[in-house]
Amino acid sequence: MSAIALAPSDLVPADRGRLSAFEGLAAAAALSIMSLFPIVEMISRQSKLPGIPGSTVFVQHLTLGIAFLGAALAARSDRLLALSANTFLPERWLGGVRVFVSAVGSAIALCLAWAGAQFVIAERLGGGKLAAGIPLWVAQAAMPAGFLAVALGIVWHASPHRRGRLAAALGLCVPCVFGLLPSPHSTAILTGGIAVVLIAALLGLPIFATLGGIALLLFWNEGLPVAAVPVETYRLVASPVLPSIPLFTFAGYLLVQGGANHRLLRVYQALIGWMPGGLAVTTAVVCAVFTWAGSGVTILAMGGLLLPMLMKARYPENFSIGLINASGSLGLLFPPSLPVILYGVYARTPIDQLFVGGFLPGLLMVTLVSAWGVYQGVQNRAERTRFSGAEAARSVWAAKWELAVPAIVLIGLFGGFGTLVEAGAITVAYAFVVECLVYKGLSARRDYPAVARECVTVVGGVLLIIGVAVGFTNYLVDAQLPGRLIEWTQANIHSKYVFLLLLNILLLLKGSFMDVFSAIIVMVPLITPLAAAFGIEPVQLGIIFLANLELGYLTPPVGINLCLSAYRFRRPMASVYRATLPFYLILLLGVLLITYVPWITMAPVHWFAG
């Protein structure tokens, strides 16, 4: 896991501080409005009063603005998500490699900015209105502006030396070169361009640039307008359900910043720490609770707290790191998991049914990891806490407001009171009130803008990948690749179970080098028609898909949890691989059970529906 690109300007520290403060205020304002509007809309609807005109449209386009503000911040803070093998290169090569990768990345980002500008100009001529008389193109202008900021950030941080930056800036000339080429139909240029992008991807090119670069080359080669990429980006990012992703993520960050992780750890330790392997089980449960805020949040926020506790209780260090690593994605199938929401949006599968169908599979994965923890606890004679009813009662009482968060989320999702976005907004409001006004572990003045900025940075990096990836997959659909895959599969694979096995292998490989969000965007259009041809239920397919990608977080060479653990615990990647292997095999068993025993997924769905 690596990133490229930081700040686009040589600011003195005081200016950096002012800029960061402004960014925090802008992020806080955007997220606060995004949270407030759906709540007002829900209250107005329940009270049969008129709501805010254009509220839904404003929230959707705020998501677009947050996505590209976050993308610019991710570039400025060197956090554009990338998959890189450059750690295996000699150190003397790294400077040149970074300049090369930055040149490719800046070229693609500027091409996307230009394509976005073409889209905005067309929309401006169309005269569309957002709401309250605001021109639609004003909101859409966030796309070219965001891509341009990313391009400049990549160039600026290509090298600490001016010469390296100037070399990387040559990439900004690429859009002009392509504009002068006489014929768009050139197999040699297409092949060479894709080869350059893929080589750069191996060396650290951000994922958005990899997918976006290939998409731009494919559209250009077909003689199609490259504005098709930002058009599809706009359609997805400004969709009615996608605002729930930044909202639920923000709620998770507020809870962590307010100290909910410490209080909930105390609760579960008091309730189950007395049993054999109790601390290991506690680790699995607590990490599963926080996974919905992001696998990275779980490992980075909880890892430093849990590892010393596990080792002090006489669990081996390798086991402890592997446990935290594996537990970092255990809650992927539980509400309000962001990958489940995105899968439901993109596969057009009811999100509530996905959450219901994912409950038992998610519980199975937690149980398998916990069982291995119990075995290790017995084998190593790990220390256990003595059960105290008084301590259990005190810890539950101290964390009572945070223990109610799952109920708030579930009521919002399944209670029929509002939409998924409104459920996210309620969760944000609840988390703010609890952490800021009840526990007072979060300062509205000092912490709130910083938390909002961090949330927008993470969400922007993810939404940037999602938005660009959808342009790539739409090209594949237009090229009739899904239909060709169906024909090939039906001609060569006749068993549903063989198909499922191949699907498992494919998804594990994808999860090992592609983040879960872009994997959903890229793979879902290809896999759903194949699964339908074999009679696989859409909800079952969704849970199989997500369970495999959950395991993909732990799949070498660069599963995201492996990279985060190596960074958090300062361990070599090979050491992290060894520590994680037992848990990988255990969770692989769980994935196979989920795949080949459809009852685990579908029984709750049928019960809930009936």
Q: Hey, which residues does 135 pair with through a beta bridge?
A: 129
Q: How confident is the model at residue 248 (pLDDT cuts 50, 70, 90)?
A: confident
Q: Would you state the pLDDT for residue 215?
A: 87
Q: Fill in the amino acid letter for 450.
A: A
C-alpha 303: how far from chain center: 19
Q: Is 349 left (phi over 0), alpha (psi -120 to 50) or beta?
A: beta
Q: Would you state the pLDDT for residue 185?
A: 62
Rounded average pLDDT over 106-117:
90
Q: What is the pTM of this model?
A: 0.81
Q: How confident is the model at residue 601 (pLDDT cuts 50, 70, 90)?
A: very high
Q: Hey, which residues does 2 pair with through a beta bridge?
A: 82
Please give the full DSSP string across 434-473, using - where no structure is assigned: IIIIIS--S-TTTTHHHHHHHHHHHHHHHHHHHHHHHHHH
Tokens of 326: 């594996």
Rounded average pLDDT over 244-265:
85
Cβ–Cβ under 8 Å, residues 436 and 442: yes
C-alpha 18: how far from chain center: 29
The Cα–Cα gap between 302 and 296 comes to 10
| DSSP 8-state assignment for residue 387 | P
User: Over the stretch 526-541, which tens digit does the pLDDT of each residue have?
Assistant: 888 888 888 899 999 9
Segment among 78-87, 143-152, 401-410, 538-547 with least mean pLDDT: 78-87
**CB within 8 A of 3, min separation 6: which ones?**
74, 78, 79, 80, 81, 82, 204, 206
Strands (E), 299-448: none
Tokens of 543: 């849970």
Cβ–Cβ under 8 Å, residues 554 and 584: yes
The Cα–Cα gap between 233 and 223 comes to 19
The Cα–Cα gap between 599 and 610 comes to 15
Tokens of 243: 């605002």
Query: Residue 545 pLDDT > 80, yes or no?
Result: yes
Higher pLDDT, 397 or 382: 397
Q: Tokens 């993520």 appear where?
A: 249
User: Over the stretch 150-164, which tens digit does the pLDDT of each residue have?
Assistant: 998 888 877 788 887
Cβ–Cβ under 8 Å, residues 105 and 125: no
Q: Is 444 left (phi over 0), alpha (psi -120 to 50) or beta?
A: alpha
The Cα–Cα gap between 454 and 456 comes to 6
Query: Residue 420 pLDDT > 60, yes or no?
Result: yes
Q: Would you state the pLDDT for residue 148?
A: 92
**CB within 8 A of 144, min separation 6: which ones?**
113, 114, 116, 117, 120, 230
Closest CA to 151 of 119, 112, 202: 112
Q: Would you state the pLDDT for residue 11?
A: 39
Query: Residue 44 pLDDT > 60, yes or no?
Result: yes
Tokens of 542: 């969704």
Segment among 114-128, 138-152, 368-382 with least mean pLDDT: 114-128
Give backbone dihedrals phi and psi of 5, rounded to 5 degrees, phi first: 95, 135
Tokens of 335: 């509400």
Higher pLDDT, 568 or 529: 529
| DSSP 8-state assignment for residue 434 | I
The Cα–Cα gap between 510 and 522 comes to 10
Closest CA to 340 of 268, 256, 397, 413: 413
Sign of CA dihedral 131, 134, 139, 144: positive
Q: Would you state the pLDDT for residue 24?
A: 84
How many alpha carbons lie under 13 Å from residue 306 in its C-beta half-sphere? 32
The Cα–Cα gap between 590 and 610 comes to 27
Q: Would you state the pLDDT for residue 512?
A: 64
Segment among 196-205, 210-219, 249-258, 414-423 with least mean pLDDT: 414-423
Sign of CA dihedral 182, 184, 185, 189: positive
Q: Would you state the pLDDT for residue 15?
A: 46
C-alpha 193: how far from chain center: 28
User: Over the stretch 473-493, which tens digit does the pLDDT of each residue have?
Assistant: 777 777 777 677 777 877 788
Q: Would you state the pLDDT for residue 2?
A: 36
The Cα–Cα gap between 217 and 203 comes to 20
